[in-house]
Amino acid sequence: MASIGSERARVRVFFAERAVGWETRYPDDTPAYTAAVAALEPPPGGRALDAGCGTARALPLLRAAVGPAGDVVGLDLTPEMLREAAVLGRRADGALIEADSAQLPLRAGAFDAVLAAGLVHHLPDPAAGLRELARVTRPGGRLALFHPLGRAALAARRGHALRADDIRAERQLRPLLSATGWELSLLDDSEERYLAVAVRRRH
């Protein structure tokens, strides 16, 4: 079995090779991102984190939600993705930080809303990652696990069947969220998108 370190390195190499031009491969995803941010409900004047932000496609949407009085941070493991985000002008909408989602250089309870698009199934230790996202989210804050395609559509695109042990399936996800400080409040795994919204428990 691969170590967490080697799995993290594999993910980093995978995305580094695809960073330049990433968004041109998926030009129609913005409406799905817009709907996901709306479901996340970042509060005006609040603080929003895009964890595993990639090219930071969601940063302008998060900035529009929190407004000029709010704060927006995009964080990713892959420096090549962050460089592409900078080329696309995303620093105008928030800070870009290179860091591992399982070891966030952020203070506890700092954020009101966290978007994690295409992240959770790439984490070597999903429980550790979700626990760390809970740490930096205030009690009552919200998390959106998102992908612009549903699991079945994404599996079909890649030419394989859905796995029974997929961490994003409700059977696995609900207890995992509960064990890491979250309560699942919405799950939409349709053809058009995957969206799971959870609330940071107060106790």
pLDDT score of 124:
85
pLDDT at 22 over 70: no
Three-class SS state of 143? strand
Give the CA-trace dihedral at 88, 25, 130, 51, to 10 degrees.
0
| Residue matched to tokens 């009085």 | 69
pLDDT score of 178:
97
Q: How confident is the model at residue 1 (pLDDT cuts 50, 70, 90)?
A: very low
- Could you say which DSSP state residue 20 is in? T
What is the mean predicted confidence (pLDDT) over 19-37? 80
CA gap 130, 179 in Å, rounded: 9
pLDDT score of 155:
81
pLDDT at 122 over 60: yes
CA gap 137, 157 in Å, rounded: 34
pLDDT at 15 over 70: no
Task: Give the chain's end-to-end CA distance (angstroms, integer).
Answer: 35
53-72 per-position pLDDT tens digit? 999 999 999 999 999 999 99
Is residue 48 within 8 Å of residue 112, measured between CB atoms?
A: yes
What is the mean predicted confidence (pLDDT) over 90-105? 93
pLDDT at 24 over 80: no
CA gap 58, 56 in Å, rounded: 5
pLDDT score of 109:
98
CB-CB neighbours of 170 under 10 Å = 11
pLDDT at 11 over 80: no
CB-CB neighbours of 141 under 10 Å = 26
Question: What is the DSSP code string of 66-108?
Answer: H-TTSEEEEEES-HHHHHHHHHTTGGGTSEEEE--TTS--S-T
Percentage with pLDDT > 70 across the chain: 90
CA gap 135, 46 in Å, rounded: 17
Farthest-apart Cα atoms in the chain, separation? 46
What is the mean predicted confidence (pLDDT) over 118-128? 88
**Residue 52: which of 138, 133, 163 has the closest Cα?**
133
Higher pLDDT among residues 140 and 100, named by residue:
140
Higher pLDDT among residues 42 and 191, named by residue:
42
pLDDT score of 29:
84
What is the mean predicted confidence (pLDDT) over 188-200? 94
Q: Worst-scoring range by mean pLDDT, 11-20, 75-84, 173-182?
A: 11-20
pLDDT score of 164:
78
Angle between helices 4-16 and 79-87 (to 10 degrees): 30
